[in-house]
Structure 1
């Protein structure tokens, strides 16, 4: 990574491959954590650095009230929940040692080994746009749903988010995969976990979920194995279907501006995309566009600092580069578009989508289903219908899918 600036996190305006309203961007006040000392018995990937108790919802009714206040279904709640932030060792996109954080939510009073549900969250640019950094609302609600149903919910914050150092490598599936796998390993050091892992994730997290699922199925971990897979509203063909829809005006205009800007800035931090922001961004935005993704910029300021239309953001060269990428940029986009290609899950699998999604083009899901079918997997697509959350069909898909997935996983046993 050539840059040395402090980590970017898509301001709390973005929570998936989509934007949360600016009001939701304000981080909730966190409960004072009680740090638990961890013996540094190992120093490799997945080794625990610290465990912090964040909060407890002692009774099932407390969890149900929390989920309902966040707009989520509480029908699967059976247990109270204890929530912890784990800090653990992992690797950066170049394979160098680093640390990351994540949320571990556990059912209170559940005895014996627990089945893990790995949940990968959607796009964020501010460091607080991560499950372990929010006490209420959209980000912690899915892990709380799974934990209150009796699962161990394991939700990585991703590199550069939460308490992790450095810049967030947005849509870099290889590092999303290693961060997710190492989070599972760290969770197992806290609580006994069964071998089979249910893997899910929303939007950006849908691609991360597929990356983790493939790594588990191919035996990259000695203990964990893939048990079930249910990604939600992903941009699975990011460099093809999704970018084409963004550039073609097929999706929400402001969301498209944010995602295109994030693509160029984040990918340029790992790959040779452009020499100067002025070559790809119009002169009004070129001087400050990279600083908007610094991990400390609020969602409100991110929205104010970007135009309403792509034509006002991109130079002709910037648009050409996105339509016809070359070199390292093209290779990186191909990697992001391969989460559904070249393999097929051998476990119960569903793809969730919401018709009319204006942030992640629904054609991505058809693409993924077709690619998995080519490898012999007939995967059903579950359309959750016209369910909005704060005026977003995309966000609404996560709310509706979480309720469906927790019931499905409980029925699988």
Structure 2
């Protein structure tokens, strides 16, 4: 776009936000054509100026941005170069100080803290500790060997010597007392051994019956047969023989059957295991029914095997009682008492009550039960005596071990060493 030579000097002024143009000729065909085609030429000229102004403003801003970018790239390059130079310098100085092979600081640290350096701190610390230990040993040795009254351990050594002497005297007295006690216990132990041998002989005789291979039922039958023979009664072992409706009941006694017709029957059931009370009553009732007896007796080896909440030789329901008896018992008195009570009950129920003193029988029964209790107490004492023999043997072994400990302590004290005194 070219400007024609104006007739008058053109004037262009900017007033506030407005632009005043006078005598300005624009020689541009495109601009002239746009103005000619416009309905409002003045408005079209204003639009052209405004649009052109904005285009020029954007071009100026872009030129400034390019300049700033160029300046920043230049500065960035200079800063990068400076940074690299500083980093290289710092790395060089760091290597001089901290290099593992030639660093000055590493060499100084190795000089002062290396184990192999005589000027190092570990070497000096070890040397100082060795000197301190040596001085401490010398001081302690002087305190334990010096008899000077100024020595703080002098009183301790004297009191220790007195205590050891007194302990030795007490130990000697204790050993003498132990020796005397051992002599007395040896005599007592020999007496207990003799008593134990006698009890073992009795136990051997007691168990001779079971050693023949007979079971508990057979032992009970044999004992009842001996009792029945003395009474003139008949005794039969019927455990393997069926009764009216079964085989419950091991032994049946026919009272006075050796003299004539039996006056009644007693059935005995032998059990070597514990039954409950209801089960025991059921077994005895079944034995009464199957063996046609009037009274039943349950025989068990020990009182511990009696049914719970029952007592030995106590009558239940008027037709049954229970008794503990073992083949090893020296006397079958408990079984004899149960036999006699059952026999008396059957005879009373047989219809001869007019000739029988029931009150006397009850009184005698109570006395017999009480006397049997005393006999069991004596038997328990014999059992305790047997156990006492075993305890005495254990006590003797303990005392012998203690004596050996005392002897060891005496030997230790005699060798000049400290002894342990209990």
Q: TM class, shorter-chain normalised?
A: under 0.3
Q: Which has the larger radius of gyration?
A: 2
Q: Which has the higher helix share?
A: 2
The TM-score with structure 1 as length reference comes to 0.21
Higher relative CO (Cα under 8 Å, sequence separation at least 6) belongs to: 1
